[in-house]
Structure 1
Amino acid sequence: MKSSLFLLLIFVAVDAVVVTVVSAASGSAILSLTLGAAAAILTILLYAWTARRIEKREPTDVPRAGWFRATARGTLAGVGLFVATVLPIAVFGGFRIAGWGSFGGMLTIFGLMMAVATVEEVLFRGILFRLVEQRTGTWIALAVSATLFGLLHLVNDPSAIGGALAIIAAGSMTAAAYVATRALWLPIGLHLGWNFAEGGIFGVEVSGSDNAATGLLRGVFDGPALLTGGGFGPEASVFAVLACLVTTWYLLRVAQRRGNIRPRRPAQNPENQDA
């Protein structure tokens, strides 16, 4: 238990440091890309090292084989899911493109999101979800990790309860991706692709953050909060929630077919312990 808590504290600190350092490089696309990639790689290496040294286990959820393909597929899927969210919003008149933004800004956001997606998925799926699942089974672990993931984003806007609920749906999706593959590459890719499309391509704020978005386009969402997500951004749109929930359902079906759903561990019998 102590080692688990220590591991969580390590990566909470890593999360804070990574976001601070990479955000500080937002004025340079090249520097942001370099630092973002370096932060992502170092986070994975640190996770593998702590797994061996602190937990005394092999980090099978960060396999070397196929890592690039799985991450790339996840990234493309994340971009596609966000585009699928924006299209119905546009059909109902809640989205328009006001002009071009910045190509350099797009690359800067990609660098930042590489780091953010990696460290958050390691923290919430690789550590928190996995440790809770060992004690309570897959379903409770999914609920716990997704809920805490959503509550974390209230830091951006403490009043955005609807936004936090929407992020819980997104956290359920990446947790389901982890269960389906038993690896971190697909959830990292989904997280990266979604955030990059939101901020880097469409140029809108990510998860209620008030940072000025300078993506490739200058997207404008305007209309009822249920349609557009309101002040939190399109992640809180009903269409974003639906996209995440449908994907979660699909991935959990894949996980069930593969036998990756794990039951709650039965309580140990004190008499057996004495024996």
Structure 2
Amino acid sequence: MINYRPKVFDEASKSHASKKLYAILLAFIVVMGIILILESIIPAIVSTKPMLEEMNENGYLENPDNFNFQESMKLAMKVSSSPSAMIPTLLSTIFGTVTAIFYCRCIEMRPVRSMGARKEGFFSHYITGIITGIILMSAITLLSVALGVNKIEICHGVNYKVIALYLLGFIVQGMSEEFIFRGYLMTTIGGAGYHTGIAVMISAVAFALAHAANPGFGVVPFINLTLFGVFAALHVVVFDNIWGICAIHSIWNFTQGNFYGISVSGSNNTESVFRTTAVSDKAFLTGGEFGIEGSIFTTLILSIGIASSIYLIYKRQQLQQKKQPSQE
């Protein structure tokens, strides 16, 4: 079995944290709890007034007995999906990046570069990641259209200023999730001496479970989110750098939501250049309420990406093995 170890694992091995897996996971749960609290402050502030207005408009303030859990979730989804709430929510994920860096640097006492955040090659990795993210999501979407599962229509009266703000928000959000699950969790596990496959899989499953509360979450979305987590982790392993996958993650979400007009992990539709709608009524093809990330087209494209990454890792491991005798 391939156990190619990137430099980030060696650098993360200098961590002062416990090397026991259960302790690493418990610490991660605590850190995630802190991140969730910090990331919820601004969204709660900006959503309070419009939520009260929606409740008043629907008569729930006068008749609170009618305001059940189901109705509250509908109103909350409506309010949170508006640009005035969604954009601040995306930008608030910067707390995830900051908290992950703070924990690794000040608690584990290891360098930030051990998270894959390297200065060298930043621009080239990020630009390549942007291109890769566009290609991946375009391949998924256009394949579904070519096979008659979805259809695409151009939107009129598009507010490109709002779309630009969404782009900024997704740049922050994609970076945050990568720093948390790959830059922090995966490298901590790998740095503790565990097999690369274990570090990859635990970080991928944790990433998928973090989306469990999203509307439409189910078996196929869970599988695909895990596959994305595996692909993201392997990308860091292959390139020993986090910036490329930060860009892929951000542009994957932006292209999906604000270019093709598809629900991003169960969120409502937002301002977009195109609007992609389902022709088929089969959820495993369209992704259903979760969006195209819950479709088998995503499963296929991510599986190809993972296979390509494993091949690159295998070739690098072979190259390492060839070099070892000459160094002795």
User: Is the shorter-chain TM-score for this pair beyond 0.5, marking a shared fold?
Assistant: yes
Alignment map for 1:22-37 (pairs within 5 Å): 24=46, 27=83, 32=87, 36=91
Partner of 1:244: 302
Greater CA radius of gyration, 1 or 2? 2
1:195 aligns with 253
Q: Does 1:165 align with 2:165?
A: no
Residue from 183, 187, 199 that aligns with 1:126: 183
User: Match of 1:10, as an amino acid?
Assistant: V
Aligned to 1:183: 241
The one-letter code sitting in structure 2 at the alignment partner of 1:17 is L
Q: Which of 109, 119, 142 is the aligned partner of 1:56?
A: 109
Structure 1 position 65 matched with structure 2 position 65: no
Taking structure 1 as reference, are residues 98 and 116 closer, same or farther at Cα in structure 2, changes over 3 Å only? same
How far 1:204 sits from its partner (Å)? 1.4
CA shift, 1:49, in A, is 4.5
Q: How far 1:153 sits from its partner (Å)?
A: 1.4
SS at match of 1:98: strand
Deviation at 1:13, TM superposition (A): 2.8
Cα deviation, residue 81, structure 1: 0.4
Residue 7 of structure 1 and its aligned partner are, at CA, apart by 6.0
Who is 1:98 aligned against? Answer: 153
Amino acid at match of 2:117: V
Report deviation, 1:63. 0.8
Q: Matches of 2:231 and 2:284 in 1, distance apart?
A: 20
Give 1:259 deviation, angstroms: 3.7
Q: How far does residue 240 in structure 1 lie from its aligned partner after superposition? A: 1.0
Cα distance in structure 2, aligned partners of 1:259 and 1:19: 42
1:154 aligned residue: 212
Quick one: which of 257, 275, 278 aligns to 1:221? 278
* Partner in structure 2 of residue 86 of structure 1: 141
- Could you tell me which amino acid in structure 2 is paired with residue 14 of structure 1? I
Deviates more, 1:101-110 or 1:231-240: 101-110
What is the TM-score with the length of structure 1 in the denominator?
A: 0.80
Q: Kindly, what percent of the aligned residue pairs are identical?
A: 24
Q: For the Cα contact (< 8 Å) 2:215–2:290, is it kept in 1?
A: yes
Structure 2: state its 5+ residue gaps.
1-17, 48-81, 319-328
Secondary structure in 2 matching 1:153: coil
| Counterpart residue type for residue 160 of structure 2 | F
1:4 shift after superposition:
7.4
2:10 corresponds in structure 1 to none
Q: Give the drift of 1:11.
A: 4.9
Q: Give the residue type in structure 2 aligned to 1:65.
A: E
C-alpha contact (below 8 Å) 1:110/1:196 kept by paired residues: yes
Aligned length: 255
**How far does residue 226 in structure 1 lie from its aligned partner after superposition?**
2.5
Which residue does the alignment assign to 1:257?
315
